[in-house]
Amino acid sequence: MERAPSNRLIFENAAEISAGGAHSIARRTDGTIWAWGSNTNGQLGDGTISIRLAPVQVAQALSRPNAHAVTMLRIGNGEVISSVDSAVAGASVSIEAIPMPGYRFVQWQVLRGGAAIIAEITNPSQTFTMPNNHVRFRAVFENVEALPVHAISIRSTPIVGAGTVSANYLSAPAGTEIVITATPNTNYRFARWEVEGGGITISEPTNPIQTFIMPNNPVQVRAFFEAGPASHTIAAHPNDSGRGTVTRSHSSAAAGTQITVTAVANANYRFVRWETVSGGITVSPSTSPTGTFTMPNNAVTVRAVFESRGGRGTRTFNLPGQMSISNLASGQSGRSSPISVNVTNLPAGAEVSSISVNVGSTSGTILPSSLRVTSTSRPGHELDIPWMGALNTPLSNTHDFWGREANAVWTISWFGTNTSLSPNTRQFGNVSLTIEYTYTN
């Protein structure tokens, strides 16, 4: 312990001062801790119960990890958000880029900190581990309206009345996701897509609904229909590779055909149930590894859910802080600052069965529409759960993170629109995440 300085020196060299009812504690810039005042209950921490009229040292210099700055920049019209302004090495940090109307996010540029800390530079939502130095990012937005626009031409075969074709855009700039749809009329079926110009690739030519990324030139696509009852594709797969295999009696079939799907679990796993991903059907019985359904007049995708033969569990984690956004203009939409929890104390190898998010408090007039959940166990994936408007009512999801590692960093934010006539604010507080998981004994 060093000689007690005067009260004047304590205040001149204080980094922090805390005052109690009749005593005070100060941390000097050299890291040492000093206390003075009433000590009847030993509150000064000097090992006595004597009143101290002059400061006494009660702790040696404290060593604190250095926090490094997180700097966010942008090019173009958009908003960039970081979960923190600074962090120590090893901390989990989330960043997000939100384009304004008429703009779209292009990529992240890592200006300082090492390019490898961002896993996917074209993903607007990222979570990374803070290195032992400052980091600086720049989000690049581009004006969609200023980009050159190219025509999208789709047509069907010359058979009159065979079917119709449509696209979500008649023209679009390069980089836009285009969805084309072929719908056969009665007594006809869709046969295939053919690209007549533009240099694009149709990934599944026999699937009537297809997507592609618009190139920097016009595109021409033709849909072919043929006479006969429509035959639709049937896709069946497990919830995660390595857990089991799935087969179906038909790869495609006309409406009214009975389809049988079969799930066979691998060692250390068991079949749980069937889920319909798309197509609007129900596999019956849903909990039997062999089920059936009647083919509708559209394509169908089903998923077999397998889980570990080990134990099951459920844990709830409270997320610190609030999800908030301030001064959002009237009619403007935006995303809140994210909050995160690092789940590390579940059994080793625990895998997600389901998740739910609960919100305990909220204030403000911005109308929230959805909560977004991301996890380092599934990089680049964003799950939006519709906000139902009721507090303390868990918002559940049953498949997006199925089979993923439960011990991970989970991040939640909300998206909404300001419906008031003036700039306003919204906060969500007391947010918790419940994870149902399975694990191998």
Band (397; pLDDT cuts 50, 70, 90)? low
- The 10s digit of each residue's pLDDT in 62-79 is 555 677 888 888 888 888
Q: Say if CB 175 and CB 140 are below 8 A apart.
A: no
Q: Does the pLDDT of residue 421 top 70, yes or no? A: no
- The 10s digit of each residue's pLDDT in 153-184 is 888 876 777 888 988 888 888 888 888 998 88
pLDDT at position 270 is 85
Share of the chain above pLDDT 90, in %: 12
In degrees, rounded to 5, the angle at the alpha carbon of residue 164 between the alpha carbons of residues 163 and 167 is: 150
pLDDT at position 1 is 44
Share of the chain above pLDDT 70, in %: 91
Q: What is the pTM of this model?
A: 0.38
- Name which residue leads in pLDDT, 266 or 64: 266
What are residue 93's DSSP bridge partners? Answer: 128
Q: Does the pLDDT of residue 285 top 90, yes or no? A: yes
pLDDT at position 226 is 84
pLDDT at position 284 is 94
In degrees, rounded to 5, the angle at the alpha carbon of residue 149 between the alpha carbons of residues 148 and 152 is: 150
Mean pLDDT of 403-407: 83
Alpha-carbon gap, residue 284 to 292, rounded angstroms: 5
Q: How many residues does the chain have?
A: 441
Q: 151-227 with 312-438: one CATH topology?
A: no
Q: For the purposes of burial, counting CB atoms within 10 Å of the CB of 85, is it exposed (0-12), middle (13-18) or buried (19 or more)?
A: exposed
Band (2; pLDDT cuts 50, 70, 90)? very low
Q: Where are the domains of the chain?
A: 7-59, 67-146, 151-227, 231-308, 312-438
The two structure tokens encoding residue 188: 């006809």
Convert the chain into a string of H (helix), E (strand) and C (coil).
CCCCCCHHHHHHCEEEEEECCCEEEEEECCCCEEEEECCCCCCCCCCCCCCEEEEEEEECCCCCCCEEEEEEEEECCEEEEECCCEEECCCEEEEEEEECCCEEEEEEEEEECCHHHCCCCCCCEEEEECCCCCEEEEEEEEEHHHCCEEEEEEEECCCCCCEEEEECCCEEECCCEEEEEEEECCCEEEEEEEEEECCCCCCCCCCCEEEEECCCCCEEEEEEEEECCCEEEEEEEECCCCCEEEEECCCEEECCCEEEEEEEECCCEEEEEEEEEECCCCCECCCCCEEEEECCCCCEEEEEEEEECCCEEEEEEECCCCEEEEEECCCCEEECCCEEEECCCCCCCCEEEEEEEEEEEEEECEEEEEEEEEECCCCCCCEEEECCCCCCCCEEECCCCCCCECCCEEEEEEEEEECCCCCEEEEEEEEEEEEEEECCC
Q: Which fold has domain 151-227?
A: Immunoglobulin-like (2.60.40)
Torsion of CA 382, 387, 390, 395, to 10 degrees: -40
Band (148; pLDDT cuts 50, 70, 90)? confident
Distance in Å from the first CA to the final CA of the chain: 53
pLDDT at position 220 is 93
- The 10s digit of each residue's pLDDT in 89-115 is 888 888 988 888 778 888 888 888 876
Query: Which range has the top average pLDDT, 64-78, 138-152, 186-200, 376-390?
Result: 186-200
Q: Which of 325, 345, 327 is nearest to 335 (CA)?
A: 325
pLDDT at position 326 is 77
Alpha-carbon gap, residue 35 to 46, rounded angstroms: 8
Strands 177-184 and 209-213: antiparallel
What are residue 414's DSSP bridge partners? Answer: 371
Alpha-carbon gap, residue 354 to 350, rounded angstroms: 12
Band (399; pLDDT cuts 50, 70, 90)? low
CATH homologous superfamily of 312-438: Galactose-binding domain-like (2.60.120.260)
Strands 231-238 and 300-308: parallel
Band (13; pLDDT cuts 50, 70, 90)? low
pLDDT at position 149 is 80
Instruction: Tell me the average pLDDT of the chain.
Output: 82
